[in-house]
Every structure is written in structure tokens, then in C-alpha cells.
Amino acid sequence: MVGRRKEIKLALVYRDMWQSSGKYVPRIDQLVRVAQPIIDMGCFDRVETNGGGFEQVNLLFGQNPNTAVRQWTQPFNDAGIQTQMLERGLNGIRMSPVPADVRRLMFKVKKLQGTDISRSFDGLNNPQNLELSFKYAKEGGMIAQAALSLTYSKLHTVDYYINLADAYLELGAEEICIKDMAGIGRPDSIGKLVKGIRERHPDIIIQYHGHSTPGFSVASSLEAARNGADIIDVGMEPLSWGTGHADLLTIHAMLEDAGFVVKDINMDAYMQVRKLSQEFIDDFLGLYINPKNRFMNSLLIGPGLPGGMMGSLMADLESNLSSVNKWLDKNGKEKMTQDELLIKLFEEVKYVWPRLGYPPLVTPFSQYVKNASLMNVMQLIKGRERWSMIDESTWGMITGKSGKLLGPLDAKILELAKQQDREFYTGKPQDLYADELDLYREKMKEQGWAHGQDDEELLEYAMHPKQYEDFKSGKAAQSFQEDITKRRNKANLPAQGGVADLPTEMTIDVGGSKYKVNVSYPGTVAGSDSSISKTASPAMDDGSAVYILAPLEGKFYLTKDNSDSAIKEGDKINVGDTIAYIESMKVINAIVSDKAGTVSKILISHGEEVDEDDQIIKLV
């Protein structure tokens, strides 16, 4: 830096700060309160306001995400601070593929709502999946930024990423983001990567985004700056570090010391933002933040799981641990701790990841690798084989429906695909998903729902159908309040009526049939509503019948969508046939028969909750 002082700009990733720590982001009223103090800090040229899971979170609250984006971005627009969002290419702002017409509308709507920059990434780093993102972003008036989803393997070299940046820019991207979502990019390699892109493209903006989880991101930020990066993403207290991002104060002081020009921080405003963010945590958001996510963890260098996923993983691991311990207890074995399960998961990710073709560990593929690994761990604990449960989303990745994997698939995976008659797709992934806006226009007409300003309500419905319907019916708001009450009771945060530890669910036997009932107490909310659901009961037979059992707990479905045909009584079943599905861990898992015979009776109704080892289908 001798002889020159380059200006480095800073971007506050306020949305990602929250979702890398826990499940939710603040409510609309809270976001509006914190916007002006962020502006008053005076040190930010960009703020990440939305994208990722932001819209779904608002719907889960029972709040309108369109109102949230407009009100949250407006103060930054007025102050001349650029706003940016994160979008997932083929998956838009959800976890599953989105039709092209819905993707196109998304960029138009988000620009009109006040979002300036679209940071677009593809979970497999496939340029063909991002070409439309760049095109539609620019059509809508947004800046099209391409993100390189960084991961660390023998295939993901510095040269690979430099060439990937070339491909993205050739397809229309206007900026490059180094998206180090797990923080496992080594600082020296980050520097070489930025330098390589800068030498080939002297005039484009390069932005570095690194999570702090294993501890590399401070050094990586410095290497990125020294080698030509223009903007560094930062977090701030009380949500910096851990699975989040390097802290503003640390990065600011480091860059100043290295000779860079950075804008001064108004510390009075900083303390106000810090105070408000802590207030939001104390209000309710802390109920969804696992304390372990507030610490850096070098164990994650090995599995390379991203910070954005760790926030939800630690929340979900509770139920997974409960399921495992229920089985261990039932079989007279010693229960596990959450740490023991987590370490087993980390080790299994290292085993599974290369065998699934080295997909970058970023949404949604990090979830797929995690789900496959966790299923393997749970099956191995129970004395079963690996790969006996692979969810349908993971199969979609394996069979090419999201694009080509960089590495080869393991022979065992290929063998399983053949056994299950799964076809591999080599075409353009977007072609698999027909346009749907006309379908949702018709649905909204039937419901009497308005399309909203700039068709924003139409977009929301087409992007998040189930969540939007629950939002409109009021079910989402009710479910969220029930969940808040349960979590407060569990944490003994003003436990109402002193009944936090009493059971909210029981199974009763009536005339030989078992029923699951929800139990409520004064001042609490029952596990769901006051309904009674029938669970599987032992069926009487002459000894010739065999039963297919539920391989895990969850919600039982005969089909995964309306286009499928359900099995029925009289159908012939062979070993290896996919016969039904269970929704568990937020994904659909195929139930593959381990027995052959003729379907005599389907014992569980479509949509009914089942426990592991419940009898679900009777064969003769």
C-alpha cells in the first residue's frame, strides 16, 4: 500500500446477520426502527435488506413481506445507501426451483420495492442457471451481481473460480461477489482469487462476503482488500462472529491500519443499533438463536457447513436428537447428547460430500448434503445401512435436475439410482419448470385476492404458495404465536401457571385403538389444535401378513404431488419400490419397500403424523 491509499467501502449484511444466527429476522416495526440509526452510523455504502429467506420469514410471522421490503428499504433509498438482496438463481428466493416467468417478475417487483442490487448465486456454480438472473435483474433496473459460491476441495481451485467469474461476466453479470458462505476459504487463496479476477477485469466491482465460523474471515478480508476488492461485507454486535460475519469494528480498524481509506463510524449511532438489535433478541428472536451459533468453531473447517445453514441446523437438531434418543431408549441403549450427535454429523458430512459429487455447501445443496448425512447417522445408530433414506430433493440434485455436478457420483449412489429406476437429466434445468403465473392469477381470481401494487401479491403467492395461503388465512400468525408460547414455556420465560414442564401430548388407548391427543392447560397453548388423531394400531391377522414400517417420524403422504399415482389395495409391491413418502426435516423422503407382497391395507391416512416403526402398510 506504499504510495497510495485506496478507499474500501463497507456493506452491512443486516438480514444475513440474523438468519446466520437463528431462524428469523426482526418484524416490520423493528426493522423500521433500526433503519435510521444504521444510516446515522455513516460508514456504510450498502446494506443487505432482504432476499434469502426474508420473505418466507415475514409470511411465517403472519406479516406481508411486500410491506416489509418497501418500508425497510425506503430510508436507505432516501439516504443514497444502496440496498442489496440475495437470490438463488433457479430457486429464486425459495428452496426449490422457480418457473422463469415467476423469476422475471421477482426482479421487477423487488426493484420497484426499493432493492438496488441482486446478488445471484447458483448452488452448483452452474452459469446456465444464472444467465436468466442477470438478464432479468438488468431488465428490472437492478445491478446484476454474480456470486461465486466458495468451497474448498481438490476440484474447487483458484483457477476454477477465476474462470467461473469470466463465465458469469460473459453472460451479463456486472459485479462479482466472493461468497465465502462457510468461511472456509483460506486467506492466501482468497487473495489470489481476487487478484486473478482483478487482473482480467480491472473495472468491475468485487465484493467479499465471508462468514467468521472457523476464524479465517478477518485475514481473508484483508487479503481480499489488498488484492483489489472494493467492498467488504461485515456484521456487528450483538450478532457478529460465530456463524455470522466478522465484526465491523475489527474490520474497520484493521483496514485503517493497513492504509486503506474507510468512512468514520458514528459511535453514538453504532451503540443505538447495537441496543436495538439486543432488544429484538430479548423480545423473541433469541428464542430461535442457539447459543452455540454465537461461537466460532474450527471443527467446521472439515465439513465446511455454511453459517447461513448452521443457524437453522442447531434449531432443527433438537428434534433430531429427540427422535434418536427415543429410539435408543426404546431399545435399551444409552442416550446421546447434542454435541455427540453434532460431531457424528460433521464426520458424516466429510464422508458423504465427495460421494455426492462435491456440490458447493451452500443453500439448498448444503441442506441436501446435511440431510443425507444426518439420515445416514440416524440409520447407522440404529444398526442399518447408509443411504437407506435419501430425500427427493437430494435425488433431484443427484440426477441432474439442478445442473451438472462438478465431481463424479459414488458407485453406490449410481447403483441405488438404477435400482429405483431414476433417470438422469442432462438438459437445461429451467426447462423442467413450466411458467405458472397464469395459474396463480386464476387461483387469486377464485379467492377474490388482489394482485397488489406492481403485481407484488401475485409474485408472493407464486413464489411461496403454501406460506402465502397460511398467511392469508391467519393460520401462519396463529401458529407463530403458539410456537412463541411453547418456547417461552420451555425456557421458563415467564412460565404461565407454572405448567411449563407438563405434557402437551398423550397417547390413549380406546378399545384397542391408539389415539394421539393434545393436552392444554390454563395459560398455555396445546401442541397444535384440540384435535385427536388416530395412530397406527396393531392389526389382527392370521400370521401370514407382513408390515412395512415407517422408517422415521414425520408426516405420511401417499404421493409427493398431485401428478403421482398412489398405491392402492391389491397392488403388487417389490423390494426396492417407492411406495409412499414421509415429510421430515423439511424435506420429502421416499419410503422404499424392504418387503415384497400384495397391498392388503393402507393403515395410515394421507397427511397423518406417524412415529418411527409405526405399521403403515399391510402386505400379504
Looking at the fold, whether 574 and 588 belong to one and the same domain comes out as yes
Please tell me whether residues 246 and 267 are part of one structural domain: yes
The confidence band for 310, taking pLDDT boundaries of 50, 70 and 90, is low
Domain count for the chain, please give it: 4
Give the separation between CA 355 and CA 246, rounded to whole angstroms. 32
Residue 458 belongs to some domain of the structure: no
Residue 436 resides in a domain: no
Please classify residue 545 by burial: count the beta carbons closer than 10 Å to its beta carbon, then call 0-12 exposed, 13-18 middle and 19+ buried. middle
Count Cβ atoms within 10 A of the Cβ of residue 211 and give its class: 0-12 exposed, 13-18 middle, 19 or more buried: buried
Asked if the model's pLDDT at residue 498 lies above 60, the reply is: no
Return the percentage of the chain with pLDDT > 90, whole number: 59
498: left (phi over 0), alpha (psi -120 to 50) or beta: left
Q: Contact at 8 Å (CB) between 405 and 397?
A: yes
Task: Report the pLDDT value the prediction gives residue 156, as an integer from 0 to 100.
Answer: 92
Residue 269 in contact with residue 42, Cβ under 8 Å?
Answer: yes
Q: How many CB atoms lie within 10 A of CB 66?
A: 20
Q: Residue 518: pLDDT above 80?
A: no
- Domain boundary at 488, 519, 534, which? 534
Q: What is the pLDDT of residue 531?
A: 38
Q: pLDDT band at residue 540, thresholds of 50, 70 and 90? A: very low
Instruction: Please say which residue of 412, 430, 448 terminates a domain.
Output: 430
> Can you say whether residue 387 is alpha, beta or left, with left for phi > 0 and alpha for psi between -120 and 50 degrees?
left
* Domain-located, residue 342: yes
Backbone angles phi, psi at 388, to 5 degrees: -75, -15
Same domain, 243 and 183: yes
Cα end-to-end distance, the chain, whole Å: 78
DSSP, residue by residue, 151-217: --SSSS-HHHHHHHHHHHHHTT--EEEEEETTS-S-HHHHHHHHHHHHHH-TTSEEEEEEB-TTS-H
Burial class from Cβ neighbours inside 10 Å (0-12, 13-18, 19+) for residue 176 reads: buried
> Which letter, b or e, does each residue of 133-157 get, where b requires 16 or more Cβ atoms within 10 Å of its Cβ?
bbbbbbebebbbbbbbbbbbeeebe
Tell me: do 119 and 247 sit in the same domain. Answer: yes
pLDDT at 441 over 50: yes
pLDDT band at 493 (very low <50, low <70, confident <90, very high): low
Assess contact for 512 and 537: CB atoms under 8 A: yes
The pLDDT tens digits of the residues spanning 136-152 come to 999 999 999 999 999 88
Are 204 and 177 in contact by the 8 Å Cβ rule? The answer is no
Q: Has residue 270 got a pLDDT over 70?
A: yes
Query: Is the pLDDT confidence value at 308 over 60?
Result: no
Does residue 479 carry a pLDDT above 60?
Answer: yes
Residue 34 lies in a domain: yes
- Do 94 and 219 share a domain, yes or no? yes
pLDDT tens digits, 183-236: 889 999 999 999 999 999 999 999 999 999 899 999 999 999 999 999 999 999
Residues 320, 222 within the same domain: no
Q: Mark whether 476 and 494 lie in a shared domain.
A: yes
Residue-number span of the structural domain to which 106 is assigned: 9-288
Greater confidence (83 vs 359) lies with: 83
pLDDT for 516 beyond 60: no
pLDDT at 445 over 60: yes
pLDDT (0 to 100) of residue 316: 65
Q: The CATH number of the domain where 590 resides is what?
A: 2.40.50.100
Question: Mean pLDDT across the stretch 283-295?
Answer: 87
pLDDT number for residue 58? 94
Residue 581 has pLDDT above 90, yes or no: no
pLDDT digits (tens, 9 = 90+) for 410-430: 999 999 999 888 999 999 999
Q: 144-148, 242-246, 438-442: which range is least confident on average?
A: 242-246
Q: Can you tell me whether residue 338 is helix, strand or coil? A: helix
Residue 64, domain member (yes or no): yes
Mean per-residue pLDDT, 592-602: 88
Residues 6+ apart with CB under 8 A from 593: 548, 573, 574, 575, 576, 577, 578, 579
Per-residue pLDDT tens digits for 34-71: 999 999 999 999 999 999 989 999 999 999 999 999 99
Type and span of the H or E element at 44: strand 44-51
The answer to whether residue 558 sits within a structural domain is yes
Would you state the pLDDT for residue 575? Answer: 85
pLDDT per residue over 330-348, tens digit each?
Answer: 888 999 888 888 888 888 9
Whether the pLDDT of residue 472 is over 90: the answer is yes
| Beta strands across the sheet bearing 587-592 | 587-592, 578-584, 554-557, 609-610
State yes or no: pLDDT of 511 exceeds 50: no
Domain match, 550 and 527 both: no
State mean pLDDT over 251-264: 97
Please, are residues 587 and 578 in contact by the beta-carbon 8 Å criterion?
no
439 part of a folded domain? no
| CB hemisphere CA count around 19 (13 angstroms) | 22
Average pLDDT on 480-488 reads 91
Q: What is the pLDDT of residues 92-123, one digit of tens each?
A: 999 889 999 999 999 999 999 999 999 999 98
pTM for the full predicted model: 0.80
Please name which of 53, 51, 89 lies closest in space to residue 429, comparing C-alpha atoms: 89
Residue 533 has pLDDT above 90, yes or no: no
Q: Are 349 and 303 in contact (CB under 8 A)?
A: yes
Phi and psi at residue 517, to the nearest 5°? -125, 145
E runs forming strands in 82-164: 82-87, 117-120, 143-149
Going by C-alpha positions, the residue among 90, 96, 166 that lies closest to residue 130 is 90
Residue 307's pLDDT band, with cuts at 50, 70 and 90, is: low
Query: Do residues 590 and 581 make contact, with C-beta atoms less than 8 angstroms apart?
Result: yes
Q: Cα-Cα-Cα-Cα dihedral of 286, 291, 295, 299, to 10°? A: -130
207 and 70 within one domain: yes
Angle ∠(191,196,197) on CA atoms, nearest 5: 105
Q: What CATH number should be reported for the domain holding residue 64?
A: 3.20.20.70
Judged against a pLDDT cut of 50, whether residue 260 lies above it is answered with yes
Q: What is the pLDDT, as a whole number, of residue 513?
A: 52
- Residues 132 and 240 occupy one common structural domain: yes
pLDDT digits (tens, 9 = 90+) for 546-564: 899 888 778 888 887 655 7
Using pLDDT thresholds of 50, 70 and 90, give the confidence band for residue 593: confident
Asked if residue 36 belongs to a domain, the reply is yes
**Mean pLDDT computed over every residue of the chain:** 87
Predicted local distance difference test score (pLDDT) of residue 84:
98
Joined grid coordinates for residue 119: 446478488
Q: Are both 97 and 168 inside the same structural domain?
A: yes
* One domain for residues 529 and 579: no
Residue 461: which residues within 8 A CB-CB, separation 6 or more? 440, 443, 444, 449, 468, 469
Q: What is the pLDDT of residues 165-176, one digit of tens each?
A: 999 999 999 999
Q: Choose one of 409, 430, 451: the last residue of a domain.
A: 430
